[in-house]
Structure 1
């Protein structure tokens, strides 16, 4: 077997079914990680990068529908739901929660695996069209920003500034570098004040979608700015990570 190309998270509480799904995915070049509950799956997603989630709707504790909603609102990861035959309401609820596809039980393992591979091949994350860090994702082709899947209207300068920060997470980006990336000129007259105003507006726009997202952009005294992903406390979602006042 060739080296795995993708990683899939299989969320299924029945061990025998979990083994069947895992084996089927591995025939299509997936590496797999498994979880028996939604809470355990959320912990995996918080710690690992996955390319696909195969998710049973009927789980103990948090439902598969609720987990699907949380995944798709925070990460651009395709989700395949496994639903019982004839449960139309579950399929509709899953699609409304952001699922990319659904497969009804009983199903043919090869069909599931082929659908999974097709979804990942078409994913914008896999073809380099999407950059994502924490709650913010960027469509690099369309120069469009999203917070938890919701589009944020930005000016060209704001988008380029956000793109510079998101694609360099946890790095202290100097004022001059941000001015060069955002406005094409590192020695711009009044540049620091211009940058400060742009960051202020950018934070407000991110906060309008998700209050915690504003805290992603922090001031670095005497240096510039840093983008950091808010800490995740578990299935209840991201913790608030406030940013300090501007320091120049």
Structure 2
């Protein structure tokens, strides 16, 4: 592993095409890793955040659009989407899901390399442990949050809830808006279930900083974060 090389994750279920794209990127100087199963993508990203993801739209296990939407709940890593769908609507859906660029099949591997180079020239700061509020650090790459140096024992859903609230302190979020930010969990939750998760999150924040109510209820609307 060369720390000086940019790391590109290639996600393509067709082995010959996946290997071809990975080989061309490697020849261009990038470190690459190829994945064929959609369900393996997010665990791989959380284990090691790439500099860019080349992501096929149609994948076994989990499709590219849902991967991209879930990815955007915790990372701004650039995504180049690959697809056989050429209709404008499908391209727009991919971009609205959080993709940075779009290449339609059939394509030249050289075009993919050129698009990757162009995207990586754009300014993008790798997410890391950042202070979201005084004393609160949120590390999206590790799914960890600390308050005053104390590690908060959060579930993945509680982590995403805290991240959504802390990104915009003072903003009032409705329960529906918070459900939209939780992406993969929203189908298993009702809007009132948010109340239970907020209660648990408040308790964990209170444990780390007694007497400080960081999540305020706004009657008839939802919640806002103040720390």
Could you state the TM-score of these two structures normalised by the residue count of structure 1?
0.56
The structure-2 alpha-carbon separation of the partners of 1:84 and 1:8, relative to structure 1 and needing over 3 Å to count, comes to: same
1:28–1:117: 8 Å Cα contact kept in structure 2? no
Q: Which residue of 2 aligns with 1:20?
A: 20
Unaligned 5+ runs, structure 2: 150-157, 167-182, 186-196, 212-227
Q: Deviations over 1:205-248 (max 9, x none)?
A: xx9x95243899xxxxxxxxxxxxxxxxxx957xx784242338
- 1:247 lines up with 2:210 in the alignment: yes
- CA distance in 2 between counterparts of 1:26 and 1:69 reads 27
- Give distance in 2, aligned partners of 1:21 and 1:41: 17
Matched, 1:211 2:161: yes
Looking at structure 2, the residues matched to 52 and 214 of structure 1 have their Cα atoms a distance apart, in angstroms, of 23
Cα shift at 1:88: 2.7
TM alignment of 1:123-202, pairs within 5 A: 123-125=123-125, 131-133=127-129, 158=133, 161=134, 165-166=137-138, 173=148
Alpha carbons 1:4, 1:31 under 8 Å: kept: no
User: Per the alignment, do residues 67 and 30 of structure 1 end up closer, same or farther by CA in structure 2, a change over 3 Å counting?
Assistant: same
CA pair 71-123 structure 1, distance change in 2 beyond 3 A: farther
Distance 1:170 1:61 in 2: 30
**How many aligned positions are there?**
166
Check 1:4–1:244 CA distance in 2 against 1; reply closer, same or farther (3 A cut).
closer
SS in 2 for 1:41: helix
Query: Secondary structure of 2:77's partner?
Result: coil
User: For the structure 1 residues 4 and 28, does the alpha-carbon distance in structure 2 shift closer, same or farther, using more than 3 Å as the test?
Assistant: farther
Question: Contact 2:73 / 2:160 at 8 angstroms: preserved in 1?
Answer: no
Q: Deviations over 1:6-53 (max 9, x none)?
A: 111111111100111101111222111121122111110121121101
Task: Compute the RMSD of aligned alpha carbons.
Answer: 3.5
Structure 1: state its 5+ residue gaps: 139-144, 146-157, 175-206, 217-234
Distance 2:73 2:138 in 1: 18
Displacement after TM superposition at 1:122 (Å): 1.2
> Alpha carbons of 1:4 and 1:16: their partners in 2 closer, same or farther (altered >3 Å)?
farther
Judged with a 3 Å threshold, the aligned counterparts in structure 2 of structure 1 residues 70 and 170 are, in CA distance, closer, same or farther, namely closer
- Distance between the aligned counterparts of 1:88 and 1:21, measured in 2? 24
Cα deviation for residue 95 of structure 1 reads: 0.5
Q: Distance in 2 between matches of 1:69 and 1:215?
A: 18
